[in-house]
Amino acid sequence: MPTLRDIKRRIKAVHSTSKITKAMKMVAASKFRKAQQRMFELRPYADRMGAVLSSLAGGAESEIHPLLAVRPRKNVDIIVLTSDRGLCGAFNSNILRAASKHISHLKKEEFEVNVSAIGRKAVDYFKRRNVPLKKSWTGISGRISYANAQEIAADIIEHYTNEATDEIILAYNEFKSVAAQKVVVTRLLPLASIEATAETLPVFNFIYEPSKEDIFNNLLPKNVEIQIFRALLESQASEEAARMSAMENATKAANDMINSLTLQFNKARQASITKELMDIVGGVEALKG
- The 133-137 sheet, strands edge to edge: 133-137, 112-118, 75-81, 167-177, 180-189
Contact between 43 and 50 (Cβ < 8 Å):
no
| Total Cβ atoms within 10 A of residue 245 | 20
Contact between 42 and 233 (Cβ < 8 Å):
yes
Task: Tell me how long the chain is.
Answer: 289
Peptide bond into 210 cis (omega under 30): yes
Whole-angstrom Cα distance, residue 287 to residue 127?
75
For the question of residue 66 being annotated catalytic, the response is no
Among 176, 188, 187, 184, residue whose Cα is nearest residue 98: 184
Candidate list 88, 153, 241, 261, residue with the active-site label: 88
CA distances from 186 to 4, 79, 193 (A): 57, 10, 14
Which residues are tagged catalytic?
A: 88
